[in-house]
Amino acid sequence: MAASAPLASETVYVRALTPRQIAWRRLRRNRAALCALGLLALLHLLGLFAPFLSPYSPVQQNLALYYHPPSHFVWRNNQGQHTFWPEVPATMLTPSHRCIDLPGTLAPLRLFVHGERYRLLGILPVSLHLFGCKNPVFLMGTDALGRDLLSRLLYGSQYSLSVGLIGIAITFALGLLIGGISGYYGGITDNVLMRFTEVLLAVPGFYLLLALAALLPPGMPSGESYILIIAILSLVGWAGLARVIRGIALTTRERPFVEAAKALGVSPLRIIVRHILPETTTYSIVSATLAIPSYILGEAGLSFLGLGIREPTPSWGNMLSSAQNLEALTQYPWILMPGLLIFVTVVAWNVLGDGLRDALDPRGMR
Amino acid sequence: MASELLLVDNVSKFFTVAGGRWGERHTVRAVEEVSLSIARGETLGLVGESGSGKSTLARIILNLIQPTSGKVVFDGQQVSSAKGEALRNLRRRMQIVFQDPYGSLNPRMTVGRIIAEGLPLRGMTDSAKQAEEVQRLLALVGLDASYQNRYPHEFSGGQRQRIGIARALAVKPEFLAADEPVSALDVSVQAQVLNLLLDLQQQLGLTMLFVAHDLAVVRHMSDRVAVMYLGRIVELAESSTIYTSPRHPYTRTLLEAIPVPDPDRKLPDIPPVETTSRPAEGCPFQPRCPLAIDRCRKEMPQLAEWGCGHFTACHRAGETT
């Protein structure tokens, strides 16, 4: 058809893709990495909205209902009629720790109920919760003090997940700056900074963590100890990164465009930030995603040993420490839930990191 | 010379290199006892084969490398010892265009940002003014203003070299060193870039150091030509003189190596290249020189004037015309 032929005056303007666009396209083709990304986004969102999603306060105890198994739903009401909405029975624990339903106590699970007041995202004072029930409802059971595991997991994720993100931010700020300066200036500056990082690298990391954590005063509020744990983890972690960044900076400073910037009279700090550090982005993004799990595990390890986030404030690590004895493990397996979440998060970060590495690999760029 | 802008005085640069199986160190004499001057508005061509120290000399002049000895004086100011504010001012007045149009532009920055990088250094911090200036510079080097939002990898070598020139001109320099600006380009594009440089030089009154290994290209560009061999200047003269009556045997072989489109031309006797390493004593060119005598093997010839600004470092320069 003549109508479909393009006019001669029409110019087709094709714009080349930037490296970032190419990388994003390739990441989208990697299904596993995309799933991991989605999962992580979900986990972080859950943590962000923990007060709204959790039915109880993470520190509210029900001593009569300790190690309560996950609640079960009944699809009938007290009159025996079939319902389309789950009902929850009130329960009690026998002396032999069996959970039995109390007859005639069924109450419907309700959405958007008012409960304890909290500040949504730390600002908005509200009392709305996603769900609730007249009877105690524990979707994932309770711990030794009868605290709702789901609420504690949600609140705990705020600490456990953010440790990785904030930790990596501090580590990278330090590592990039020190590595960049060391590599760009070279000479004596390089020697002094690198010997210093080697000293740090020579100290076994976990012992350093233990020593530093033991310095925390025992009565410290958990908010403060949380900040300190992040500080400790990132102060231990930057050294290895700084060395790699220094290596990249050493090769980049010989590139002609850096020489051109130097010839223009651009200040050294500006050259480092604008020309040298961008060369490390591929490496940094990948190594950051692969390093986040070690922070999550580091926090979990410290909290597990009682040196991190302290009871009653929940974190996945200190929740897992209650799963230490065999009796609890065999009889109340739901208390392993934080372990499962740590595992899932760590795997997701690693899969995402792998996917990013493939996507950013310059050899595959077209 | 009253109006000289740049003076290179007895500059040497030695690099220490670790080599060999046991990592023994030895010294590479990249530039040795080089002196020259460039007058305001003049273009000095600098030719020589690979490894003759041309680029090193250009980098020393721009203070991208510190010389081992000697000094560079730009408009009465010492370059190599300049620091801080003085160095920043000098940097703004002297710029360089690099050989590699692919490596010399940051692949992660848009053309607009690359060109605008130098603008704050001449006091232009207002972003609207910067955008205007970038457009002016793009037009100056013959590129479309719409290119400023694109990335370097979207351009051809010649276009990139134009971008590199625009970046250098952004700080309004008086002196421009062109370090083999066209050697990485197609021959068809070379002429365009060379003519652009010539135009800009006339328009802006630039003083230029034009480094190349191609004598034909240098002839097109330069008022005077300096020939380097193994770190030393062996001949320096007006470009017409050097092409018509070279005195140094090395210059002559270089000129004879220029291809001439004449199928009947007999190939000149070009001495075979047996070694390009430098002899322990005597003239550095002596192992390859067809005219070498005993004196050349023992004594280093100094640069001497053979009339009318024609300098040659050869013991037998007087005998050959």
ipTM (interface pTM): 0.83
The minimal CB distance from A263 to the residues B95, B106, B150 is found for: B95
| A119 and A188 in a common domain | no
The predicted structure's pLDDT at residue B274: 59
The answer to whether residue A256 neighbours chain B at the CB level (below 8 Å) is yes
The CATH number that applies at residue A266 is 1.10.3720.10
| A317 and A170 in a common domain | yes
Write out pLDDT tens, residues B283-303. Answer: 888 877 878 888 888 888 888
A317 inside domain = yes
Contact check, Cβ <8 Å, B62/A257:
no
A29 inside domain = no
Write out pLDDT tens, residues A50-73. Answer: 888 888 888 888 888 888 888 888
Assign A242 to helix, strand or coil.
helix
A86 inside domain = yes
- Asked if A168 and A292 touch (Cβ cutoff 8 Å), the reply is yes
pTM for the predicted model, two decimal places:
0.75
Residue type, A88: V
| A180 and A118 in a common domain | no
B319 pLDDT tier (thresholds 50, 70, 90) = confident
The answer to whether residue A20 neighbours chain B at the CB level (below 8 Å) is no
The minimal CB distance from B88 to the residues A18, A256, A265 is found for: A265
Overall average pLDDT of the A85-93 stretch: 82
The answer to whether residue B93 neighbours chain A at the CB level (below 8 Å) is no
**DSSP-assigned beta bridge partners for residue B7:** B37, B73
Q: Which residues of A touch B107 (CB under 8 A)?
A: 19
The answer to whether residue A269 neighbours chain B at the CB level (below 8 Å) is no
The predicted structure's pLDDT at residue B207: 92
Look at A122-126, A142-146, A333-337, B52-56 and tell me which has the smallest mean pLDDT. A122-126
The answer to whether residue A365 neighbours chain B at the CB level (below 8 Å) is no
| A87 and A185 in a common domain | no
Give which of A21, A257, A276 to mutate to test B binding, by max B Cβ within 10 Å.
A257
pLDDT at residue A210 greater than cutoff 80: no
Overall average pLDDT of the A290-303 stretch: 81
Q: For a pLDDT cut of 70, what percent of chain A falls above it?
A: 92
| A265 and A186 in a common domain | yes
State the residue range of the domain holding A97: 71-137
pLDDT at residue A2 greater than cutoff 50: no
pLDDT at residue B174 greater than cutoff 80: yes
Structural domains in chain A (count):
2
Choose one of A137, A169, A190: the last residue of a domain.
A137
A23 pLDDT tier (thresholds 50, 70, 90) = confident
pLDDT at residue A41 greater than cutoff 90: yes
From B151's Cα to the closest Cα of chain A, the distance in A is: 8
Q: Which residues of B touch A256 (CB under 8 A)?
A: 98-100, 103-104
| A216 and A119 in a common domain | no
Q: How far apart are CA B309 and CA B231, in angstroms?
A: 21
The answer to whether residue B28 neighbours chain A at the CB level (below 8 Å) is no
Q: Encode burial over A252-279: b for 16+ CB neighbours within 10 A, e otherwise.
A: bbebbbbbbbbbbbbeeeebbebbbbeb
| A159 and A133 in a common domain | no
Write out pLDDT tens, residues A71-80. Answer: 888 888 778 7
Nearest to B205 by CA among B289, B288, B124, B93: B93
The answer to whether residue A2 neighbours chain B at the CB level (below 8 Å) is no
Contact check, Cβ <8 Å, A265/B105:
no
Taking a contact as any Cβ pair under 8 Å apart, which residues of chain B between 150 and 169 contact chain A? 150-151, 153-154, 164, 167-168
A76 inside domain = yes
The answer to whether residue B118 neighbours chain A at the CB level (below 8 Å) is yes
A42 inside domain = no
A203 pLDDT tier (thresholds 50, 70, 90) = confident
| A301 and A206 in a common domain | yes
The answer to whether residue B105 neighbours chain A at the CB level (below 8 Å) is yes
A16 inside domain = no
Top-ranked range on mean pLDDT: pick from A218-227, B52-61, B269-278: B52-61
Choose one of A137, A162, A194: the last residue of a domain.
A137
Contact check, Cβ <8 Å, B164/A260:
yes
Choose one of A105, A137, A169: the last residue of a domain.
A137
Contact check, Cβ <8 Å, B105/A257:
yes
The minimal CB distance from B64 to the residues A255, A259, A274 is found for: A259
B44 pLDDT tier (thresholds 50, 70, 90) = very high
The answer to whether residue B98 neighbours chain A at the CB level (below 8 Å) is yes
The predicted structure's pLDDT at residue B23: 67
Q: How far apart are CA B180 and CA A126, in angstroms?
A: 70
The answer to whether residue B144 neighbours chain A at the CB level (below 8 Å) is no
| A257 and A165 in a common domain | yes
Look at B159-163, B235-239, B277-281, B305-309 and tell me which has the smallest mean pLDDT. B277-281
The minimal CB distance from B117 to the residues A15, A261, A278 is found for: A261
Which string of DSSP letters, residue by residue, matches A77-110? Answer: -TTS-EEEEEEE--EEE-TT--EEEPTT--EE-E
The minimal CB distance from B98 to the residues A18, A260, A275 is found for: A260
| A188 and A75 in a common domain | no
From A15's Cα to the closest Cα of chain B, the distance in A is: 9
Over chain B, what is the mean pLDDT?
A: 84
The predicted structure's pLDDT at residue A8: 47
Q: Which residues of A touch B87 (CB under 8 A)?
A: 265
| A319 and A245 in a common domain | yes
Pairing of strands B232-238, A110-120: unpaired
Q: How far apart are CA B157 and CA B164, in angstroms?
A: 10
Overall average pLDDT of the A204-218 stretch: 73
Contact check, Cβ <8 Å, A275/B106:
yes
pLDDT at residue B308 greater than cutoff 50: yes
Query: End-to-end distance of chain B based on CA atoms, in angstroms?
Result: 27
Q: Which residues of B touch A260 (CB under 8 A)?
A: 96, 98, 104-105, 164, 167
Contact check, Cβ <8 Å, B104/A261:
no
Q: Which residues of A touch B104 (CB under 8 A)?
A: 256-257, 259-260
B210 pLDDT tier (thresholds 50, 70, 90) = very high
A131 inside domain = yes
The predicted structure's pLDDT at residue B209: 92
The answer to whether residue A264 neighbours chain B at the CB level (below 8 Å) is yes
pLDDT at residue A1 greater than cutoff 60: no
- Asked if A355 and A30 touch (Cβ cutoff 8 Å), the reply is yes
pLDDT at residue A306 greater than cutoff 80: no
C-alpha distances out from residue B201 to B41, B194, B209, Å = 8, 11, 11
Q: How far apart are CA A31 and CA A33, in angstroms?
A: 6
* Total beta-carbon pairs less than 8 A apart between chain A and chain B: 63
The answer to whether residue A262 neighbours chain B at the CB level (below 8 Å) is yes
The predicted structure's pLDDT at residue A121: 74
- Asked if B111 and B183 touch (Cβ cutoff 8 Å), the reply is no
CA-based radius of gyration for chain B = 21
Q: Which residues of A touch B103 (CB under 8 A)?
A: 255-257
Closest residue, chain A, to B151 (C-alpha): A18
| A123 and A187 in a common domain | no
Contact check, Cβ <8 Å, B118/A265:
yes
Dihedral of alpha carbons A46, A51, A52, A55, sign: positive
Q: How far apart are CA B316 and CA B264, in angstroms?
A: 31
C-alpha distances out from residue A37 to A33, A34, A40, B119, B121, Å = 6, 5, 5, 41, 43
The answer to whether residue A260 neighbours chain B at the CB level (below 8 Å) is yes
Structural domains in chain B, sorted by start: 4-244 (3.40.50.300)
- Asked if B56 and B30 touch (Cβ cutoff 8 Å), the reply is yes
